[in-house]
Structure 1
Amino acid sequence: MGNCQAVDAAALVIQHPSGKQERMYWSIAASEVMKMNPGHYVSLIIPLPISDNGEQNSDNNKTTVRYTRVKLLRPSDTLVLGRAYRLVTTQEVMKVLKAKKHAKMPFTSWSP
C-alpha cells in the first residue's frame, strides 16, 4: 500500500486500511471520523526528509526513498485541510503498544 503525500491545500485525505482514499473539504474532529469507522484510530501521516539511500528514480537515475512517521491523534484533535491521515485498526495499535511496553521492560536474568 502506497502513501499519498500529494494533498492539495483545500482538502484533507483519509487513507483506509483497504487502500480506499477519502477526501474531505472541511475540518472534522478525529472523534467523528472514529465514530464513522468503528474499531479504528486516526493517525497523522508525517513525511520525513528524502534519503539518497534507497529506491532508484528512473527519471534522473538518482536514488530516493520517502519515509513517513505516523502519529496517533486524540479524539479531541481536529483533522485540518492540507494534511493526510490514515485509519489504523485497534489491533495494530495494541500490537505496537505491547511491543513498546516489552522493549521498555528491564532485562532480568532468571535461572531455574
Structure 2
Amino acid sequence: MGNCQVTDAAAVVIQHPDGRVERLYWPTSAGEIMRSNPGHYVTLVTFYISRGNSETSNTASLPTAAGETVRLTRVRLLRHKDILLVGQVYRLVTSQEVTKALNARKQERMRKDQAELIKQQEQQQKQRQRLQHSTNVEEGVTQVEKNEREKQRSSRYWRPSLQSISEIGS
C-alpha cells in the first residue's frame, strides 16, 4: 500500500484535449498514440513550479495545493518515431491547434524580422546623414580655403596713388 506513488511516477502520462488523463506503464512510440487518436499530435510538456503570482501571456498557469503555480513552459511536437519515456508528461493536441500555433509563430517571426529591417534602415539613414553632414562640413572648409587662395592670387596689394610733392626752396 505504501508504494503507490512509485508506480504513479513511473508512468507515461498523456493528457487528452477533453481533460482525460491516460497512464501507460511502458515506453511506447508517439506514432502508436497518434494512430489510436487520429487528428491529434503528441507533444512533450515541460513544467516548472513558480512561487510568484505574476502571470505572463505566453504560459498557462495552474494553482497547486501549496499556493504555488505550475507553469507550462514549453510544448514540443514529437515525431512518429519518438519514444514516450516513462516519467514524462505528454499532451495530445489537435491538428487545428498545431496549425494555429505554427501560423502564430510565423507571424511573430515576420514581425520580428520586419522590426529588425526597419531598425537597420534607420541606422543606415542616420549613418548616411552623418556622412553627408561631415562631407558638407569638409566641402565648406575646402570652399573657404579655395576662396582665400583666389583672393591671394587675384588681389594686388593696395598702393596709394598720391601725387608727388615738389620741394620748394631749398
Quickly say closer, same or farther: Cα 1:57–1:36, change in 2 above 3 A: closer
Q: Give distance in 1, aligned partners of 2:108 and 2:15.
A: 29
TM-score (norm 2): 0.52
Quickly say closer, same or farther: Cα 1:14–1:99, change in 2 above 3 A: same
Deviation at residue 56 of structure 1 after TM alignment: 7.7
- Which is helix-richer, 1 or 2? 2
Quickly say closer, same or farther: Cα 1:10–1:51, change in 2 above 3 A: same
2:76 to 55, 71, 74: 71
Unaligned runs of 5+ in 2: 1-6, 55-61, 119-170
Equivalent residue runs for 1:30-41 within 5 Å:
30-41=30-41
Quickly say closer, same or farther: Cα 1:29–1:100, change in 2 above 3 A: same
Structure 1 runs of 4+ aligned residues shifted over 4 Å read: 54-59
Q: Which one has a bigger Cα radius of gyration?
A: 2
**Which has the larger displacement, 87-96 or 97-106?**
97-106
- What's 1:83 paired with? 88
Identity of matched residues, %: 46
Q: Give distance in 2, aligned partners of 1:64 and 1:26.
A: 31
- Which is strand-richer, 1 or 2? 1
Deviation at residue 84 of structure 1 after TM alignment: 1.1
Quickly say closer, same or farther: Cα 1:58–1:70, change in 2 above 3 A: closer
TM-score (norm 1): 0.76
- Aligned residue pairs, count: 100
- Higher RCO, Cα 8 Å, sep 6+: 1
Deviation at residue 20 of structure 1 after TM alignment: 0.8
Residue type of the partner of 1:88?
A: V
Quickly say closer, same or farther: Cα 1:56–1:11, change in 2 above 3 A: closer
Q: Give distance in 2, aligned partners of 1:57 and 1:35.
A: 33
Quickly say closer, same or farther: Cα 1:51–1:28, change in 2 above 3 A: same
